[in-house]
Amino acid sequence: MVDLLLSVENVIYMEHESPVEFLVSAERVDAHGGIADCKSAKIALDTDLAGRADAFNPAELFLAAIAACMLKGIERVMPMLKFQLRSVAVRLTGRRQDAPPKMIGVEYELWVETEEPERRLDLLHRNVRNFGTIFNTVLAACPLEGTIHRGIPPWRREATRGADSLEGRR
């Protein structure tokens, strides 16, 4: 079987195609938070100066966007690579400086529960690193480095493994 690394050469870009656009709306609810809307989804926003445990602050939303991009990228390439896995998890850590305020780096750990050989795991990681819109955008702005591991992540090993669906985790 020949492995496929999707590359710019494999993708046809039509110059006349307009860029894809995304729309998110957000509004202040009160001094403690806001709500962001997109399609039929809502996300609670932590805008409280003291912080909130029940909502994402802007830095956490930033990291969640990178994580979502990585997970979506894996979903996109799995059928193309015929890659088999049982679960995927990612944990990100962002570093922020105060003056001027900005993110100065992001590290991630990507965990894949699979029986695929090591070279195919590395191929999956290369595809995640090369073909994610948010990943590439962040990479142009600050260091974004990480590792891929085989197995169940340490933060989930002690948790009971319930249903594999999102519904079963609620």
> How high is the pLDDT of residue 10?
47
pLDDT digits (tens, 9 = 90+) for 109-134: 999 999 999 999 999 999 999 999 99
Could you tell me the residue range of the domain that residue 30 belongs to?
8-169
Contact 48, 31 (CB under 8 A): yes
Q: CA dist 118 to 52, 126, 141, 148, Å?
A: 41, 12, 30, 10
Q: Is residue 161 part of a domain?
A: yes
CB neighbours of 55 closer than 8 A, spacing ≥ 6? 33, 43, 44, 45, 46
Q: Is residue 3 part of a domain?
A: no
Q: Is residue 2 part of a domain?
A: no
Closest CA to 136 of 72, 70, 75: 70
How many domains does the chain divide into?
A: 1
Mean pLDDT by 10 residues, the chain (170 residues): 48 64 97 96 96 96 98 97 97 97 97 98 97 96 97 81 49
Q: Is residue 37 part of a domain?
A: yes
Residue 20 DSSP code: P
Q: Is residue 85 part of a domain?
A: yes
Q: Is residue 67 part of a domain?
A: yes
> How high is the pLDDT of residue 170?
43
Q: Is residue 22 part of a domain?
A: yes
Q: Is residue 157 part of a domain?
A: yes
Alpha helices in 34-164 (DSSP H): 58-81, 118-130, 133-141, 154-157
> How high is the pLDDT of residue 7?
47
Which CATH number does the domain housing residue 120 bear? 3.30.300.20
